[in-house]
Structure 1
Amino acid sequence: MFRGKPLLKYGLAAGIAGGTLLSLHGNQYQLDSIGIVRLSRAAFTVFQIGVIYKKDLYGKHLDKSSKEYSELKSICHTRSAQKLLQLCCTNKGVYIKVGQHIAALDYLLPSEYVDTMKVLHCRAPTNKIEDVYKVIKEDVKKDPFEIFDTIEPEPIGTASLAQVHKATLKDGSVVAVKVQHPYVQGNAKVDMKTMEYLVKLMSIVFPEFKFQWLIDESKKNIPQELNFAQEGRNAEKMAKMFENIDWLHIPRVRWDLTTPRVLTMDFVEGGQVNDLKYIQENYIDPREVCDKIGKLYSRMIFLHGFVHSDPHPGNILVKRNKKGQCDIILLDHGLYATLKENFRVEYANLWLSILNRDRTAMRSHSKNLGIEGNAYGLFTCMIAGRTWDSIQRGIDREQFSKSEKKFMKQAFTGILPQVSEILQNVDPQMLLILKTNDLVRSIEHTLRAGTGMGSFCVMSQCCVKSVYNQKYTNSQTKIEKIKVSLAEFWALLKIRVYYMFLSFRQISFFS
């Protein structure tokens, strides 16, 4: 029994498998013997997780406010997360992608799950080189060695949906070839349908949590990420959008060797953004790295509304340029959030209210993004990744400390139902933004740099430009447009003066 709801012992796994089979049949999804094994494996894993909580936590009838209950719950979370990790590594493909999504949800899910699943960002499964050759031959319609002079058998990177190999073309050009795992396309629809049923089952175990948003996002995003031709188009759009930024590099797509399952791009050297040893050995300033990433994402979100939404460390490289400064190399352009103008402006206004410590505006703009009542306080904490006290004191005035990070993890663990409610109700466009924010903050934490004054200044400027651009577009007369332009100029001037003052005060303090 889970929270008073009876479940038959082994009928649980069989029932969900049977229900999924009927649904898949009704939707004309292809389900072979391998699919049935994967489905049954997933159902049995959820059954095992349910037993862990039923037997070792709920069955103890402990006081939920007691230290013993808290410690036991943490143990159950860890054991269950390990079961889930094992399932992701065994079933691969979409399961690893969803596991990576879970790993990005700092403060939104129990830390035991987040920390356990983080290994999936760097330890995805690898296919044999023969499987890689097969996919290339099927999609490009040529034998790989008609195309490549050499192709390294060991991948230089592996991910949930593909792996990347360094290769040399017949003309001597060095390229990176991203090849989709051969089993992914065939299993994706079945896997997503299975996961949808598993989430419904988990809602029986945890009736106060709402995880449907995670499945809805995955169902929407996975087809995008499976189309490598679309990824190539995203890369070219991003390169065109930021062509005036000399420190940002996006490898050029080789369209003659690109298909929906094969993506070929120029090979670019660099170290992973979280590789502290590489950064130190190459005399790269971690603060410069974080500052540039912060500026880049502010422009993406608030000005362009086209946001690279998978900035985990494997997808961002850094290198020292000839000027002795840091270049950023952005990889994996499969997942982008395209933000509608009204959402982008509301989000910009919300950030301005956070930076201005304006509680009335925070409540108003949170409501416009789908968050009603006093939940706006928790929502703004999720957006900023800071405590309410820090927001009230000014997040641009003090750095994010280890003690604050520890406090947030502990605090959010105790209010997961409320967090889950927010994720269920917020504008769906916000879900990828939250994930992106957490991944960027994770990079800052790894580099021990934090968000600098330069990043806050640029973000504030981008927010103001976003808000006033809409006002300018909606202006009916030349006089109105002039007034809006002057108001924008004044707002931007105040921001520059304010952050110059903060920087001067900070320099004076440390002098």
Structure 2
Amino acid sequence: MADDKKRKDPIPTGWLERGARLAGATSKGAARFVGTRFKSFASPERSEEFLDGFHEKTAKQLVEMLGEMKGAAMKLGQIASFYEFGAPTEYMSTYRDALTMLQNSAPPMDPAASRRVIEEEFERPVEDVFETFTDDAVASASIGQVHRATLPGGQPVAVKVQYPGVDDAVRSDIKNVSAMSKLAVAIAPNLDPKEVANEVKERVLEELDYRREAKNQQKFAALYEGHPYIVVPEVYMDHCRTRVITQEFIEGEPFMEAFDKPFAERNRIAEIVFRFFYGSLNRFMLFSADPHPGNYLLLDDDRVAFLDYGLVRAIDPGTHELLIETSLALIENDKERGRVALEGIGILTRKTPEIDAVWEHLREMNRPILDDRRVKLSAELVAELGRAGFDPRSKAFNELRKVGFPAVMVTFNRMSFGVASLLGRLAAENNWQAIGREFWFGDASKTKIGRSDQAWFRRTHPEVPPPMKREDR
């Protein structure tokens, strides 16, 4: 059961068993909704009470089921727990608050299972791999859990161990796209559920190889070495395998605590997060596309540690330049310039019926960067921006279904929406366009964090050519 401290039963891996659980959850939710409607009809004065109860029970059931199943099904729940995807505001918080438990407190596996995975991967006892190993997990995720350990010599490390059977479970989830789609719609009815399910499939399949993640993290650690605000834990490649990744142990506060901090503190954290994602993209042509609170820690020296590199994407210089051109065209409201850039990316073609609806949609989605001024974000604003693209009644929605959407843009949008959701939850305020111009055109920073960041970058990465000035474009 989900309430047990340790799960000793194996993860359900069969297509039929996992599919039955997913379908069963949606069927129970539908039946519960019919009952709620009947009770509301019989007692109209209590209809709001009945509807609130329906959503609370459904959210709890989803958390329990997704937590026990792990794999792609649980990843879908983790993604939904912080996205502001334009679902009804009065009910989204119910699901988000319940699903938040999946980010750091998924039901842990029995310690013997973790030990067995390590011994299978290294082909020797755990005691021969690590000097010490703590059986109790310190964190849980969608496809693995983290244990504290020490290397021979005493170096404290965090060891992420993949759940046994999760590979088969994930591949079974891929066959259950229909049931997963129903779950997505239950949480956020305006989503295109198939698009979400397809992204989750591709993402989780890549995450199954921890050696790949270790190499990604090693690359980011080298790029951000010595940064004044950003920390990427060191990876110990000799202690990494397909299902085990070993990295420097970082002491820190869960990122979720940031949402309750004073405004100045939230704002500082938000700027660091924004600069990490968009600085990586614009300076190094790399970005991590998994921005959710479970992947960060707040350090007591005001830095933020970024922990998860299961999904990292590279972007070619040509596409990067076209993204900058698109941003500049949106800011200047230059539709023709924007169309050329969007055609270059592969989003628009000359056969696209008209650009007007798509253009207004893009400007609405990018509203925070359109003006050279401070803009305060909120969960409500991010939800409003999300509705601009997910409302099937809008003209833009119908037009967007006809245009192309390159794979890299699916991942880029995943990152962008995730960062926006985080900043909205933090109620952050900044001149987001000005920070963008630092990366796009090399403008001098207007913030203390930005000035430190620019000084670090000039000192440590002289090999990166400066961006083209705006007046030269």
TM range (shorter): 0.7 to 0.9
How far, CA to CA, are the matches of 1:90 and 1:307 in structure 2? 30
- 2:251 corresponds to which of 259, 269, 287: 269
Secondary structure of the residue aligned to 2:411 is: helix
344 and 79 in structure 1: CA distance in 2 versus 1, 3 angstrom threshold = farther
Does 1:314 find its partner at 2:290? Answer: no
Quote the RMSD (CA, aligned, Å). Answer: 4.3
- 1:347 corresponds to which of 314, 323, 326: 323
Aligned pairs for 1:107-146 within 5 A: 107-111=85-89, 112=91, 115=96, 116-146=98-128
Q: Answer yes or no: is the 8 Å Cα contact 2:378–2:423 preserved in 1.
A: no
Does 1:193 find its partner at 2:172? Answer: no
**Could you say which residue in structure 2 is the equivalent of 1:374?**
357
How far, CA to CA, are the matches of 2:324 and 2:470 in structure 1? 17
**Could you say which residue in structure 2 is the equivalent of 1:152?**
134
Does 1:458 find its partner at 2:435? Answer: yes
How far, CA to CA, are the matches of 2:151 and 2:285 in structure 1? 36
Residue identity in the other structure for 2:233: P
**Could you say which residue in structure 2 is the equivalent of 1:225?**
207
1:132-178 deviation per Cα after TM superposition (whole angstroms, max 9, x unaligned):
11111111112112233322232221111111111123311111111
**Could you say which residue in structure 1 is the equivalent of 2:198?**
216
Does 1:415 find its partner at 2:391? Answer: yes
Residue identity in the other structure for 1:317: L
Secondary structure of the residue aligned to 2:297 is: strand
- 2:67 corresponds to which of 89, 98, 101: 89
Q: Answer yes or no: is the 8 Å Cα contact 2:66–2:77 preserved in 1.
A: yes
Q: Answer yes or no: is the 8 Å Cα contact 2:122–2:129 preserved in 1.
A: no
268 and 486 in structure 1: CA distance in 2 versus 1, 3 angstrom threshold = closer
Q: Answer yes or no: is the 8 Å Cα contact 1:306–1:336 preserved in 2.
A: yes
315 and 284 in structure 1: CA distance in 2 versus 1, 3 angstrom threshold = farther
- 1:329 corresponds to which of 280, 291, 305: 305
Does 1:286 find its partner at 2:262? Answer: no
Q: Answer yes or no: is the 8 Å Cα contact 2:118–2:161 preserved in 1.
A: yes
Q: Answer yes or no: is the 8 Å Cα contact 1:139–1:261 preserved in 2.
A: yes
135 and 369 in structure 1: CA distance in 2 versus 1, 3 angstrom threshold = same
1:8-60 deviation per Cα after TM superposition (whole angstroms, max 9, x unaligned):
xxxxxxxxxxxxxxxxxxxxxxx9985532221222223334456677679x9
391 and 313 in structure 1: CA distance in 2 versus 1, 3 angstrom threshold = closer
Residue identity in the other structure for 2:79: H
1:70-100 deviation per Cα after TM superposition (whole angstroms, max 9, x unaligned):
9999987766555543431232222111222
How far, CA to CA, are the matches of 1:57 and 1:277 in structure 2? 35
Residue identity in the other structure for 1:298: Y
Structure 2 unmatched runs, 5+: 1-10, 349-354, 443-464
**Deviates most, 47-56 or 37-46:** 47-56
Post-superposition offset of 1:186: 2.1
Q: Answer yes or no: is the 8 Å Cα contact 2:287–2:312 preserved in 1.
A: yes
**Deviates most, 79-88 or 226-235:** 79-88
Identity across aligned pairs (percent)?
20
Post-superposition offset of 1:193: 0.8
Q: Answer yes or no: is the 8 Å Cα contact 1:423–1:431 preserved in 2.
A: no
Q: Answer yes or no: is the 8 Å Cα contact 1:355–1:395 preserved in 2.
A: no
**Could you say which residue in structure 2 is the equivalent of 1:503?**
none
Structure 1 unmatched runs, 5+: 1-30, 62-67, 466-484, 495-511
Secondary structure of the residue aligned to 2:147 is: strand
**Could you say which residue in structure 2 is the equivalent of 1:174?**
156
How far, CA to CA, are the matches of 2:393 and 2:420 in structure 1? 23
Aligned pairs for 1:14-33 within 5 A: none
Residue identity in the other structure for 1:36: L
Paired residues in the alignment total: 423
231 and 197 in structure 1: CA distance in 2 versus 1, 3 angstrom threshold = same
416 and 191 in structure 1: CA distance in 2 versus 1, 3 angstrom threshold = same
**Could you say which residue in structure 2 is the equivalent of 1:48?**
28
**Could you say which residue in structure 2 is the equivalent of 1:433?**
412
1:219-244 deviation per Cα after TM superposition (whole angstroms, max 9, x unaligned):
22112111100011001111233346
How far, CA to CA, are the matches of 2:313 and 2:116 in structure 1? 32
1:414-452 deviation per Cα after TM superposition (whole angstroms, max 9, x unaligned):
92565876488533322332332233233334444x242
Secondary structure of the residue aligned to 1:155 is: strand
Residue identity in the other structure for 1:436: M
**Deviates most, 419-428 or 117-126:** 419-428
Q: Answer yes or no: is the 8 Å Cα contact 1:274–1:446 preserved in 2.
A: no
Q: Answer yes or no: is the 8 Å Cα contact 1:231–1:334 preserved in 2.
A: yes
Q: Answer yes or no: is the 8 Å Cα contact 2:32–2:54 preserved in 1.
A: yes
307 and 423 in structure 1: CA distance in 2 versus 1, 3 angstrom threshold = farther
How far, CA to CA, are the matches of 1:434 and 1:414 in structure 2? 13
**Deviates most, 398-407 or 246-255:** 398-407
Aligned pairs for 1:494-505 within 5 A: none
Secondary structure of the residue aligned to 2:235 is: coil
How far, CA to CA, are the matches of 2:289 and 2:13 in structure 1? 35
How far, CA to CA, are the matches of 2:376 and 2:435 in structure 1? 17
**Could you say which residue in structure 2 is the equivalent of 1:36?**
16
Residue identity in the other structure for 1:440: V
